[in-house]
Every structure is written in structure tokens, then in C-alpha cells.
Amino acid sequence: MKRQWWKEAVCYQVYPRSFKDSNGDGIGDINGITEKLDYLKALGIDVIWVSPIYDSPNDDNGYDISDYQNIMSDFGTMEDFDRLLQETHQRGMKLIMDLVVNHTSDEHPWFIEAKTSEHSEYRDWYIWQDSKDGKEPNNWASIFEGSAWEYDPVSEQYYFHTFSRKQPDLNWDNQEMRHAIYNMINWWLDKGIDGFRVDAISHIKKSFDKGDIENPEGLEYVQSFTRHMNQPGIQTYLEELKRETFEKYDIMTVGEANGVTIEDSNEWVGEEDGKFNMVFQFEHLKLWEIHDKKLNILKYKNVLNNWQVGLHNRGWNALFIENHDRPRIPSTWGSEDYRMESATAHGAVYFLQQGTPFIYQGQEIGMTNYPFTDITEFDDVHAKNIYNMDLASGRESDDIIADLQLNSRDNSRTPMQWDNSENAGFTEGTPWMKVNPNYTMINVQEEERNEHSVLNFYKKMIQFKKSHDIVTYGDFKLVYAENEHVFAYLRTLDNEKLYVIGNLSDQEVTLQSENIQYNSEDIVLNNYAIEAHNDTSLSLKPFETRVYYVK
């Protein structure tokens, strides 16, 4: 297996609007990120992934871009960005940006020009179709609910949008459009950034020839993932994208690849022919049931084991459990009653697998979901769409809010909790989104003081990874595979062994093994006090994790 800097890196996702406000306007900004670089360095971060900071009307929190080569004024200026990049590099860290090329904003000059006439040179840069029987061209739903088609009264045609109606999809069949995108990508890489996380890239190829989707339930619009997610022919685009941009530079690329399975992985992330260094796969995210409020641990182990085994010596995993689109772990997969324990148990189990780990801001201090009680408290366009549609279908408002309180994307977008001062040290102004009221207890300053905090567990875990190649390059083998509560595995490299054991339930569990000897002297990470032991059995408390290192 080739050694690569991006395989050995620990990555941290910054959601700029909610990270740190430097000028008191209530909105996190680029200079706020620069202010906190020393914190990230002390945590042990190697690569900072910055969510979109491009010019945008902000319909979907910056994922609707109106100018790829300018900075949104909320976040600062290009000079601010250049300073951030320079200061990041001076500290020995790298910076990657979010690349959104499935769609633009409807306020992008390309789309504004495309709308002026069917004969515009930019018309074919987007996807237009005539109506069918006086309605939309087909019955596909957008990911953000409602039709995936929006009517344009000027041309009397519809344009396609996988996401919101203000995010028209680019037409990747158009060569001129593709090369304009490549020029933009190379412009950023020539600036000296260290790579990209590529948003929604598995959606760029559509299968319009398949027409309407079967609709046995008689819905107005039908979920359309099967028509625009990892479709046949997408690799042709991805190969050209890599050839014209990525492979010319020593950078890190991460594809957001909804719909990609281990069977497809060689084309996506193969060591020799992959189009990306790694991808964010989504299979494990679908295993938490909102109605049962439980994570199916057996399926969780099975999915991640398939990716670990499937990519062994062939490709590379991107490891994550939180991001800007996901609710917080202690409030969902874990337990707020066992906040520290569940945050660290889940943390150890994902982080110490083979792959490049990503930490989302606030994850390292065990931040929780926000206690939403009313739709007016939400910012997310997706949450608002769901609320309005469910309300129209007859659901009670309180029931809808209860679901959104658990799974809304806004849960991960509340301001970062730095200390126990007003607004959690995020801003001296009025925050763009309310700070979680538990900030007085859960914040960086408090976590730094507490030896047994989530933050100090993460720091210790990161340092262990950096000083032990077994975490990066060791083989992976699932153990206790049939246990419904425990996710445990063995990492091996030469004569070294690393046993990672996480009880991911709120129950006490006893493990028996005939061939594993557990010695307390070998423990390098734990989230409960542990008595001296040397045995083949283990009794684990709720959400207890232990990591044993033997050489």
C-alpha cells in the first residue's frame, strides 16, 4: 500500500457561518477561522475542510453559488481568505475547499443569461425540457421535496433541480460548461489550496431516458434518486474531471458519493484508477431509525466492515459520523444521558478504523441537538419544506417539530460553543442562529479544564494515531461480529495489535473470548475508570469504550 500524506491526516470540517464571528455581526467568518487556527493545531488537525464561502444568495447555506471566484461578503474578502490560507500553511496544516459543481445558484450569471432566451449561448449549460401534457416533464421529486422541475414563464420550459428550485443543475453533457468548471477548479488550485471535498458529485449524470418513476402510491412526485444518483456514464465525466484538474496537483480529493456502494468503489477510489482519493459513502447513515430512536448496531458493523474489507489494499476510506447535514451523535446514535461516554465510544469506533478521519466542528466537545420547539427557530430550507408539506398532509405541528428536532440539519449548524460567556464566545453581536442553551456546561474552555472530557479524549486519540502507524496502515478484522451491542475490531501491523472495543448501547454488556487476553496495562484509551485486570472476559458499562495496544 502506498504511503500518502492524506492517508495519515486528521481532518476537521469548519462550517464558517457557525464557527467564529470576528466582527460582531453575528455571522461566523473567515477571520474567525484564522483566529482559531491555534486551537485546531493544538487539537492535532492536519487538514481543514471549509464549507462553501463563495458568493451566494444563501438559499441553501452557501451550497447555491452565484460566483465561484468571489467570497460571500458575510464571510469577508479574498484578502481574508489568502491570509487564512497563508496562516494555515505556516502552522503546517492544509486547507481544502468545498466544490459544488452539480448545480449553481439561479442567481449565477450563467443561469441569468441562460434564462434570457432559448438561443442563449448558456442555455445548454443547464437542463431544460418542455412540459408533458401541460405539466412537468416527468414525475421526479427533488431531494428538497416537491417537483424537481421549475417552470420558466419566459421560455415556457422547465429547468431541472436535484435540490432546491434556486439550485438549477448544470448540464454535464455540455463540453463548454465542463471546461469552464475545470478552469475555475484550476484557478483555486493555482492559488495554493490543498484539495477539495466535492459536493453531490454522484448526481451529475441523469437518466432522463428512463422517464417517469413507478408510482404505486399515487404520489404527486416520486423520489428520484434512482434516476440521478451514480448513473451509468458518470465515470466518463469523472475521468475527464480528474485528468483536467486533480491529477495535475499533489492534493486531496474527497467525493460526496451518495449511492456509491463497495461494488462501485474501484472506479471511485481505487488505488490505481479511482477518480478521488476517498469518498463519503452514505450507507451507514441510514441505519438510525427515527421512530425507534435506535441505531441498528449489527447493520452498522456490517456496512463499515464491508467498506474496510472491500477497500483493503485497493482503495481508501473517509471516516465520519457527523457533518453539516447530520444531527449530533449524543442526541441520536448515542445518549444525552451518557453524553461524554456515547460521544467518545462512537468517536473511538469510527476514528480508529483504516481511513482518513473527519471531525465536524463541535463533535470533539460532544455538542448536542438544539431543543427546537417551533418552526420559526429553523433556518434549513429542507426542514421548512418538510414542515409545510407534512402540515398540508394533515400531520400535527408538534409531531413534525419533534421529528425535525431529532434529524434536522440545523442541529449541527448552531454556533460553536467556545466558552460560557454570552453567546458561547461565538459572537459579541446577535448570533445568526440561536446558541444551544447548554453552552454554559458544554464548551471548549470547560472541556479543556476537565481531564476526562470528550475533547481531551479526542486529543489523546488523535495523538495516538499520529504516533502509531498501525492506526493508519494496519489491517482490520471485525471481532464479536454477532454481538448486538458492541462494535469491536482488531487492527494488526507486523507484530503490533490494536483492539478497539465500543459498547454502543445504554446497557451493560459482558464479552467472552477464548483467544483474546485483555490486560489493563495495555490500555491506551478509555472513557471509564478501569480496575487492574488480565482476563479473557470483559464487562462493559453503557457506552464504554476501551482500546488495547499490544506489541
CATH number for the domain harbouring residue 521: 2.60.40.1180
Closest CA to 256 of 304, 316, 199, 311: 199
The set of cell numbers assigned to 332 is 441520536
Q: Are residues 442 and 543 in the same domain?
A: no
Instruction: Give the whole-angstrom CA distance, residue 391 versus residue 213.
Output: 25
Task: Give me the count of residues in the chain.
Answer: 551
Residues 287 and 423 occupy one common structural domain = yes
Q: What is the CATH number of the domain that holds 440?
A: 3.20.20.80
Residue 467 lies in a domain: no
Assign residue 145 the CATH number of its domain.
3.90.400.10
CA distances from 278 to 82, 145, 322 (A): 27, 29, 17
Per-residue pLDDT in tens (0 to 9) along the chain, 551 residues: 789 999 999 999 999 999 999 999 999 999 999 999 999 999 999 999 999 999 999 999 999 999 999 999 999 999 999 999 999 999 999 999 999 999 999 999 999 999 999 999 999 999 999 999 999 999 999 999 899 999 999 999 999 999 999 999 999 999 999 999 999 999 999 999 999 999 999 999 999 999 999 999 999 999 999 999 999 999 999 999 999 999 999 999 999 999 999 999 999 999 989 999 999 998 998 887 666 778 999 999 999 999 999 999 999 999 999 999 999 999 999 999 999 999 999 999 999 999 999 999 999 999 999 999 999 999 888 899 899 989 999 999 999 999 998 889 999 999 999 999 999 999 999 999 999 999 999 999 999 999 999 999 999 999 999 999 999 999 999 999 999 999 999 999 999 999 999 999 999 999 998 789 999 999 999 999 999 999 999 999 999 999 999 99
Handedness of CA 396, 399, 404, 407 (dihedral sign): negative
Element at 391 (helix H, strand E): helix 381-392
Same domain, residue pair 245 and 323? yes
- Supply the DSSP string of 42-84, one letter for each residue: HHT--EEEEPP-EE---TTTT-S-SEEEEE-TTT--HHHHHHH
Q: Answer yes or no: 256 catalytic.
A: yes
How far apart are the C-alpha atoms of 511 and 72, rounded to whole Å?
53
The one catalytic residue in 256, 364, 380, 544 is: 256
> 397, 432, 462 — which closes off a domain?
462
User: Residue 309's domain spans which residues?
Assistant: 11-104+175-370+416-462
State the Cα–Cα distance between residues 55 and 74, nearest whole angstrom: 9
283 contacts 317 by C-beta, under 8 angstroms: no
Q: Which alpha helices (H) appear in 21-174, and where do they start and end?
A: 30-35, 37-43, 78-90, 109-116
Shared-domain flag, residues 191 and 272: yes
Domain co-membership, 396 together with 301: no
The grid cell for 316 is 481508501
Classify residue 132 by its DSSP letter.
B
Q: Are residues 114 and 189 in the same domain?
A: no
Q: Check: CB of residue 441 under 8 Å from CB of residue 449.
A: no
On whether the CB atoms of residues 473 and 493 are closer than 8 A, the answer is yes
199 is catalytic: yes
C-alpha distance across the termini of the chain, in Å: 22
CA distance 334 to 503: 10
Q: Is the dihedral of CA 22, 23, 27, 29 positive or negative?
A: negative
* Burial class of residue 440 in the structure, from the number of CB atoms within 10 Å of its CB (0-12 exposed, 13-18 middle, 19+ buried): middle
- What distances in angstroms separate CA 542 from CA 223, 527, 528, 546, one per listed residue? 38, 11, 10, 12
Of these residues, 199, 283, 364, 447, which one is catalytic?
199
Same domain (yes/no): 349, 485: no
- Taken in order 154, 155, 156, 158, is the CA torsion positive or negative? negative
DSSP assignment of 471-495? HHH-EEEEESTT-SSEEEEEEEETT
- Whether 207 maps to a domain, the answer reads yes
Q: In what order do the strands lie in the sheet with 157-160?
A: 128-129, 157-160, 149-152
Residue 457's alpha-carbon distances to 276, 319, 329, 338, 380, in angstroms, are 31, 18, 16, 15, 31
Q: Tell me the backbone φ, ψ of residue 115, rounded to 5 degrees.
A: -75, -15
Domain assignment present for residue 546? The answer is yes
44, 143, 448, 457 from 451: Cα distances, Å? 17, 43, 7, 8
Q: Which helix H or strand E contains 500, and what residues bound it?
A: strand 496-503
In a domain, 165, yes or no: no
Which DSSP letter does residue 507 get? S
Q: Is 152 strand, coil or helix? A: strand
- Domain count within the chain: 4
Question: Is 5 part of any domain?
Answer: no
Specify if 169 maps to a domain: no
Question: 476 and 363, same structural domain?
Answer: no
Residues 205 and 222 in one domain: yes
User: Residue 102's closest CA among 183, 164, 152?
Assistant: 164
Q: Are residues 227 and 364 in the same domain?
A: yes
* Residue 3 within any structural domain of the chain: no
380 shares a domain with 285: no
324 with 210, same domain: the answer is yes
In a domain, 167, yes or no: no
Handedness of CA 379, 383, 385, 389 (dihedral sign): negative
Question: DSSP code of 136?
Answer: -
